[in-house]
Structure 1
Amino acid sequence: MNLTQSSKAAISSDQIARYQAQFAERKDAKVIERAVTHQGILATSADYASDTDMTPVFSIDLDTGKVANQKQSGRCWMFAALNTMRHHLADLFKLTDFELSQNYTFFWDKFEKSNYFYQNVLNTADQPLDSRKVAFLMATPQQDGGQWDMLCAIIEKYGIVPKSVMPETYSSSKSNELNGTLNKKLRKDAVTLRQLVADGASEADIASARDRMLGEVYRLLCYTLGEPAQQFDFEYRDDDKNYHLDQNLTPKSFYDKYVGWDLNDYVSIINGPTADKPYNKTYTVEMLGNVLGGREVKHLNVTIDDFKQLAIKQLQDGQSVWFGCDVGQSSDRQKGIMDLNAYNKNALLDMDLTMTKAERLDYGESLMTHAMVITGVDLVDGQPTKWKVENSWGEKVGTKGYFVMSDRWLEEYCYQIVINKKYLSDELKQAQAQTPTVLAPWDPMGALASH
């Protein structure tokens, strides 16, 4: 657009006068203005009918105990994944309300993300600071959020521990201070690493500088999160009040004994109906991950019908389902309702805000922001109508922390589930085994669940 075109598009006083007249002509304008100025858009557009439709009763309902609470941190993906594992552990060892240590995996994720950042800085050191990739890296060197495959990479390398072995700290429950300090350090280290490359430093000198930096990151994490245990005893009473003492465990031996899943059996399934991602193909995302040399992020894109049927199969088999969604869309946090009818903004404002799922992804209106666990589904004539969701925001929201998600909401705002490969058809198994297409770092399917 040239200067002449820009001046023609400038807002004129005649336009404003016309808009004022149009507003004055609306009989309901002042009524709506009074309501919205006092209550806001959401409260004014809330639809009572959604409350009755989203009753928390389900034909398949797994008993998964009390919900956890991630507090003021972006560890939802971690809580959700560890919750799926503790459901299994609780059933096997009669440990209701037992929790795995989210702080332990948080520590190693921060540590590994720092090293991953250093590698990406070195990989892009020949690019100018205003290149899109370098700018993307520096915008957020690391954060709390993540995806399923990233937690698998941590567990495969470091194992897990009970919460009693590495409990919460101030910085694990309220991570802003730690993130601000760590990101400042990582950006400072990026200055050093890029300068070393520009000066033609040897690989040995760069490796030495990086080693010193990682040592400092380790120290910072120990100060804020506590140093992870290398060996520990697991002491507990089961639901039958029987006492148990399991001594000299390591985090990896604890995982093998008390969870024992082969994490290679669990794969990420997405529904991303954009033109650049054909169905039954696999995708990964450049510069997305945490453990160098560990498990990479890999998604299999499927139709929404396949997406839902896979989740149902796993639930019918008694196993909960990790999933990622855009929780802030058409969602009532306090009531624990995720439903397209929760708010009727179109009717309130008399404007069409409707977009397709693909359009929302392509135009930045939606992406995965939060991970939770599906623990039930209501099937009517074999078709899902609503889903039971275990959140990680404590018991004061929803129904003791559990949410209800309508099936239509799932179709529009759910992007990822994790499914055991045994539930995939032969066709989908072959598709999942493909070498993934590499997506740009800023692709919406690279979003990290962090709410």
Structure 2
Amino acid sequence: MTSAITNAALKQYQQTLAQTPGSAALQKAVMNNGVLKSSESIEAQTKMDQTFSIDLSTGAVSNQKQSGRCWMFAALNTMRHGIQAQFKLKDFELSQNYTFFWDKFEKSNYFYENVLKTADQPLDSRKVAFLMTTPQQDGGQWDMLTALIDKYGIVPKTAMPETYSSAKSNELNSVLNLKLRKDAVTLRQLVADKASDEQIAAAKDQMLSEVYRMLAYTLGNPPTTFDFEYRDDDKAYHIDRDLTPKTFYDKYIGWDLDQYQSIINSPTADKPYDHVYTVEMLGNVVGGREVRHLNLEINDFKALAIKQLQAGESVWFGSDVGQSSDRQIGILDTKIYDKDTLFATDLTMTKAQRLDYGESLMTHAMVLTGVDLVDGKPTKWKVENSWGDKVGEKGYFVASDAWFDEFVYQIVINKQFLSPALQTVIKTENDHPTVLAPWDPMGALA
């Protein structure tokens, strides 16, 4: 039944507002200060101090500036921590621009391949529309970064420093997405005209050559060999000559990336716990490592993060950072704002409901570097962000355990911390995971 808003109903709403105790004062406060400042809790701030029973020393934070590379910064930060300690390099960074270049290049090829796979579908099909909405973007997930490292290695920041477009990526994204959409027109037309595989491959090869040139102009040329030259914290001089990105990774990082597993907490009905999932059309390197998520109940999820921190290793994680957070003071807490009381309404949703109804999804990746345990239970978590040192406590944030429960969706864990039963699940299901739709919230890019 259709029911329009009547004048009588409007009068009743206005009367209810006028009769609400304190409404005039609250209206003035919100109009002048906004929703967040008007509902912010000082009590929540006092409880979120930067003291933790487990606190890893990780040095100065990095700064992704005006780009969406948080997933990349967070992953490279977890890897640089070991280099800083082993080689006495206090504020050492790996090149985020180097992996940015190859991610853009590989995402372009990944897009072309998906355009060809869906070329027989109409433009208004949901998959084609999904592809064309954002051909590529800055965001990504852990498995996408490892796919890049497997193929291209890593270099120190000195070997490929930041450029205007790596630090402020809007212009590059705009022109690159324009090109990719234009190329999609050509590729779909070639398929419609029944062009040969050779003709399509030649057209795509030319497109990729042009993409490479665009990336080289904006981000610079990725090095094939370089010298790693530095002075350590004791002022001792070192130089390691003629390294390749792969040999640098093997020598200075040396992680077996196959040992790291993406773990998610998605309590929605369509994703039973203790099973492995992937997302259709999510990735960057064609033929490279594919996205694999093991879904676990929240207490098992957190226990793994604690185990890894106790072993002295930081934890990459993905969350909805904009929810219940004060960016300037660096607090992530479900009680930081009391909007329900301010508006005299119930805004409560479960984590599953927020995912199912589009209220929340993973938007940002950071690093867990500490946790405060009281009687063996976590109360708050230390977070290394990548927004520079002008926010939070010199760039470090603190998240309440309640916030972790509600808004953390993904962590990356060394498989050695998984139970034998979960390791068996991974071995059994990684080759044939449950495939989720491209628009599933677990396919969100941080």
| TM-score (structure 1 length as normaliser) | 0.98
What is the alpha-carbon distance in structure 2 between the residues aligned to residue 273 and residue 249 of structure 1?
45
Give the match for residue 286 of structure 1. Answer: 280
Map residues 295-310 of structure 1 onto 2, 5 A cutoff: 295-310=289-304
1:195 aligns with 2:192: no
Q: Which residue of 1 aligns with 2:437?
A: 440
Q: How far apart, CA to CA, are the structure 2 residues paired with 1:313 and 1:124?
A: 43
User: How many residues matched?
Assistant: 443
Give the distance between the partners of 2:107 and 2:9, measured in 1 at CA: 52
Deviations 1:124-153 (A, max 9, x none): 000000000000000000000000000000
Give the counterpart letter for 2:398 in structure 1.
Answer: V
After superposing the two structures, state which structure 1 stretch, 233-242 or 222-231, moved more. 233-242
Shift of 1:245: 0.6
Paired position in structure 2 for 1:346: 340
CA distance in 1, matches of 2:8, 2:373: 56
Q: 1:130 aligns with which of 97, 100, 124?
A: 124
Mapped to 1, the partners of 2:268 and 2:365 lie a distance apart of 21
Match for residue 176 of structure 1?
170
Aligned to 2:147: 153
CA distance in 1, matches of 2:443, 2:123: 22
**AA of the residue aligned to 2:181:** R
The residue aligned with 1:254 is 248
Larger displacement relative to structure 2 (103-112 or 16-25): 16-25
Match of 1:115 among 90, 109, 117: 109
Determine the C-alpha separation between the residues in 1 that align with 2:47 and 2:266. Answer: 27
Residue 8 of structure 2, aligned match among 10, 14, 17: 14
Partner Cα separation in structure 2 for residue 260 and residue 89 of structure 1: 10
d(CA) in 2 for partners of 1:88, 1:442: 36
Q: Deviation per CA, 1:238-261, whole angstroms, max 9, x where unpaired?
A: 112111110000000000000000
Q: Deviations over 1:64-87 (max 9, x none)?
A: 000000000000000000000000
1:65-104 pair list within 5 angstroms: 65-104=59-98
2:314 is matched with 320
Q: How does 1:176-255 map to 2 (within 5 A)?
A: 176-255=170-249
TM-superposed CA distance for 1:394, in Å, is 0.2
**Matched position secondary structure for 1:244:** strand
SS at match of 1:164: helix
Q: Distance in 1 between matches of 2:190 and 2:260?
A: 41
Q: How far apart are residue 113 of structure 1 and its match?
A: 0.1
What is the distance in 1 between the residues matched to 2:33 and 2:371? 34
**Correspondence for 2:55:** 61
1:276 aligned residue? 270
Structure 2 residue runs without a partner (length 5+):
none
What percent of counterpart residues are identical?
Answer: 71
Aligned residue for 1:192, secondary structure, equals helix
CA distance in 1, matches of 2:233, 2:265: 39
What is the rounded CA distance, in whole Å, between the counterparts of 2:332 and 2:352 in structure 1? 20
- Please give the root-mean-square deviation of Cα atoms over the aligned residues, in Å: 0.5
Residue 364 of structure 1 pairs with residue 358 of structure 2: yes
Cα deviation for residue 27 of structure 1 reads 2.5
The whole-number CA distance in structure 1 between the counterparts of 2:204 and 2:112 is 8
| AA of the residue aligned to 2:227 | D
Q: Distance in 2 between matches of 1:19 and 1:347?
A: 18
In 1, the alpha carbon distance for the partners of 2:258 and 2:109 equals: 24
Q: After superposition, what is the alpha-carbon deviation per residue over 1:354-375, rounded to whole angstroms, capped at 9, x for unaligned? A: 0000000000000000000000
Q: Deviations over 1:361-412 (max 9, x none)?
A: 0000000000000000000000000000000000000000000000010000
Name the amino acid aligned to 1:172: S
- After superposition, what is the alpha-carbon deviation per residue over 1:166-219, rounded to whole angstroms, capped at 9, x for unaligned? 000000000000000000000000000000000000000000000000000000
- Cα distance, 1:94 vs structure 2: 1.2
Cα distance in 1 between the residues matched to 2:142 and 2:83? 19
- Mean Cα displacement is larger for which, 282-291 or 235-244? 235-244
Deviation at 1:91, TM superposition (A): 1.4
Deviation at 1:336, TM superposition (A): 0.2
For 1:447, give the aligned amino acid: A
TM-score by length of 2: 0.99
Could you tell me how far 1:93 is from its partner in structure 2?
1.2
State how far apart, in whole Å, the 2-side matches of 1:418 and 1:22 are. 50
Unaligned runs of 5+ in 1: none
Matched residues in 2 for 1:272 and 1:187: separation? 33
Q: Counterparts of 1:93 and 1:418 in 2: how far apart (Å)?
A: 25
